[in-house]
Amino acid sequence: MTTSSNSNSNTNELPSISIQPASVMNQLPEQFFAKLVQNVNRQVAAGHDVINLGQGNPDQPTPPHIVEELREAAGNPQYHKYSPFSGYSFLKEAAAQRYKEDYNVDLDPETEVAILFGGKTGLIEISQIMLEQGDVCLVPDPGYPDYWSGVALSGAEMSFMPLTEENKYLPDYNAIAPEILEKAKLMFLNYPNNPTSATAPYSFYEETVQFAAKHNIVVASDFAYGAIGFDGEQPVSFLQIPGAKEVGVEFYTLSKTYNMAGWRVAFALGNKEIIRLINLMQDHVYVSLFGGIQAAAAKALTESQQCVTDLVATYESRRNAFFAELEKIGWEAQAPKGSFFAWLPTPNGMGSEEFATLLLEKAHVAVAPGVGFGTKGEGYVRIGLLTSEERLQEAVRRIGKLGLFK
């Protein structure tokens, strides 16, 4: 038998191609907080008891009546089929009902409400439907980093609006250059604010509606923490302002209000044309949420809101315990008026990453460096009130032992 001169030595080498990603993939911002997670995991793996205050993930379970509704709905054969592309009408009606009861805002469920796969999805989508190369998006600094991601995917540019303590962490519209305003098509706002925890008064939103109308800029109001206000004050919804629906939309999520972060249910509400465009985009990408989750979400929105009242009371009690402990060690900061975050200055002009690293390595307390939210976040750290009062107090005591505030 003759053996071919062709060797079979390369039979284990499979053919391959060179992967060439679209250029937009190289424009996406770095996931700053991935490094924080890695550092925390490294400390935990070394056997340290880390109190993680750097997260933004609700720590309480979803209320039982919502879970039970999902359990029952999962057995409904109707929900085993594809859901309507834009979602079930009963869920959009539930969202409209909640806005009417909480904010006295009237919404047409079919034309002014869009169901989203979590708030983050909508915040990315609105940049893709509103922006293209050459356009400018006005973005808060510091602010939620995923605003940057949506703008990058659209190919547009960002112009940052500084949020400073002196201006109560509200943007100064008069400080925006005329050449920026000529190109600006979209603006993100977020109150109660992540990361600063600031809230915005009714008068600010009145100014915003006038500003947006004058310069033809779409407002994207991120109201993720809208249910969480302290000291008896309910946060203001952008949509409460006359004319708001003519200039923008608001994004509302069940993640924080009902501890449903993993359920991925949110809404865009407001301007009919923007809602139409969001639904159009989603028609090409999704076939709506699982019907059982939509049924449970409607239950959350339409049943007793006592679970929300109790949750806000829990966060307020945690805030009070945490800040009482801060006072003992001499760490001066403004207590939050909303959200489940606190925004704290670093000691002695220390950089936020340097300070966060010190706390993690020496006190085994994880916090989020302010610079991860934008250049104006330098000099601050963000902490989440997302663990028990006892753990929050213990975290402050550990930090106090480092002697940084005396």
pLDDT, mean over the chain: 94
Residue 10: per-residue pLDDT: 56
Cα–Cα distance for residue pair 58/273, rounded to 1 Å:
33
Is 265 found in the same domain as 346? no
Q: How far is CA 349 from CA 355, 379, 380, in A?
A: 10, 6, 9
Cα–Cα distance for residue pair 69/63, rounded to 1 Å:
10
Is 271 found in the same domain as 315? no
Neighbours of 324 (CB within 10 A): 13
Residue 11: per-residue pLDDT: 59
Could you tell me the residue range of the domain that residue 276 belongs to?
A: 66-302
Is 356 found in the same domain as 266? no
Per the domain annotation, does 14 fall within a domain?
Answer: no
- Containing 366, the helix (H) or strand (E) segment is strand 365-366
For the stretch 167-213, pLDDT in tens is 999 999 999 999 999 999 999 999 999 999 999 999 999 999 999 99
Per the domain annotation, does 4 fall within a domain?
Answer: no
Is 318 found in the same domain as 292? no
Residue 119: per-residue pLDDT: 94
Domain's final residue, options 246, 275, 302: 302
Domain's final residue, options 244, 274, 302: 302
Residue 180's domain is classified under what CATH number? 3.40.640.10
Cα–Cα distance for residue pair 256/339, rounded to 1 Å:
9
Is 263 found in the same domain as 164? yes
Is 119 found in the same domain as 73? yes
Q: Number of folded domains in the chain? A: 2
Residue 33: per-residue pLDDT: 78
Is 107 found in the same domain as 90? yes
Cα–Cα distance for residue pair 207/167, rounded to 1 Å:
15
Is 162 found in the same domain as 211? yes
Per the domain annotation, does 165 fall within a domain?
Answer: yes
Residue 342: per-residue pLDDT: 97
Which residues of the chain fall short of a pLDDT of 50?
Answer: 1-2, 4, 7
Is 224 found in the same domain as 126? yes
Is 326 found in the same domain as 295? no
Residue 29: per-residue pLDDT: 85
pTM: 0.93
Cα–Cα distance for residue pair 186/277, rounded to 1 Å:
15
Is 228 found in the same domain as 80? yes
Is 314 found in the same domain as 296? no
Residue 140: per-residue pLDDT: 98
Residues 6+ apart with CB under 8 A from 275: 111, 112, 113, 114, 249, 268, 269
Per the domain annotation, does 225 fall within a domain?
Answer: yes
Domain's final residue, options 279, 302, 325: 302
Residue 25: per-residue pLDDT: 87
Residue 388's domain is classified under what CATH number? 3.90.1150.10
- Containing 358, the helix (H) or strand (E) segment is helix 352-358
